[in-house]
Amino acid sequence: MSTATSTRLAYVNYQVDRPEGLQIQVDPNGETGRRIEPEHDRRGVRLHDLRVVPTDFVTQGLVLVETPSLAVDVRDPETRDRQHTPAIETLLKQQLGASDVHVFDHTLRGFEGERVPAQHVHVDYSSDAGSQRLRDVLPPAQAEQWLRGHYGIVNVWQPVEHSVERDPLAFVDVSTVQPDDWVDIDILYPDRRGQIQGLVHNPAHRWYFASRMRPNEAILFNAFDSAGKPPVAHTAAELLNTAPEAPTRTSLETRVLVRYAD
């Protein structure tokens, strides 16, 4: 396939490192969907299509999969609990060889009253925040058991209701990221404080996306790994030459604690 059809040009927002540090406020003062973010560094990048250049979870922490079992009414909490969560558990056990799976968070984006797509290059956890999230989610005895073995946090991202024509989720190839590219970002939620990491611009970064993703597809990507697998930096990307009538991207991101078999 030619370069013209296997890649798309897009803009992404990198971080700007500051001596005083970086901070994001999510839903401040009870305003759901609002974010107060630091200044960003907007850059043009070339996105390589995962349909043409496939990746795998073992080496790159990133894989596109067909997931018809996840194409349910995820906006309904009862349906999510009854159908979606068991399907996620089965999927990750099959795809990743996980021995235990614990779904702990769902984030809908793009719908009225829900959060907007995150428009900055980031990963959801710093090295310390990943283990703390496990302690926050699991009962103490279970958390201590998991902490003695190999565990991680995996994000499952999927479109909802229609295919993605604008603002697709884009991902940085972990092999192109250097240690000095990372910056810590404090993130303030209404009920807790956390820390994520962002990337400053590096022209060596290689970018991926999946063109026109459908609700029966999902991308699995590594958010945290206790054995040191690099997290996959990601962001909503502003595609060039998007049709003005293209619908707003609606999606669900499910965060999952995963315990790997010994």
pLDDT score for 6? 87
| CA R_g for the chain | 18
pLDDT score for 5? 60
Name the phi and psi angles at 220, rounded to 5. -100, 130
Q: What is the DSSP letter of 52?
A: T
| Class level of CATH domain 3-260 | mainly beta
Give the residue among 85, 41, 47 at the shortest CA–CA distance from 167. Answer: 47
Q: How far apart are CA 44 and CA 12, in angstroms?
A: 6
Give the pLDDT means over successive 10-residue stretches in the chain (262 positions): 69 94 89 85 98 96 97 94 96 96 95 83 89 94 96 97 95 98 92 89 98 97 96 97 90 97 76
Residues 6+ apart with CB under 8 A from 110: 116, 117, 160, 248, 249, 250, 251
pLDDT score for 34? 82
Q: Cβ atoms within 10 A of the Cβ of 239, count?
A: 21
3-state secondary structure of 11: strand
pLDDT score for 17? 93
Give the residue among 129, 198, 199, 152 at the shortest CA–CA distance from 58. Answer: 152
Global pTM reads 0.92
pLDDT score for 30? 83
